[in-house]
Amino acid sequence: GAVVSQHPSWVICKSGTSVKIECRSLDFQATTMFWYRQFPKQSLMLMATSNEGSKATYEQGVEKDKFLINHASLTLSTLTVTSAHPEDSSFYICSARDRGDSYEQYFGPGTRLTVT
Please report, as ranges, the residues that interact with other proteins according to CB under 8 A.
32, 34, 42-46, 49, 91, 93, 95, 97, 103-105, 107-110, 112
Other Cβ atoms less than 10 A from the Cβ of 71: the count is 24
Q: How far is the CB of 108 from other proteins (least distance, A)?
A: 6
Select 44 or 62, whichever has its Cβ closest to other proteins: 44
Q: How far is the CB of 16 from other proteins (least distance, A)?
A: 26
DSSP notation for 53-115: TSPPEEPTT--TTTEEEEEEETTEEEEEE-S--GGG-EEEEEEEEETT-SS-EEE---EEEEE
Q: How far is the CB of 41 from other proteins (least distance, A)?
A: 8
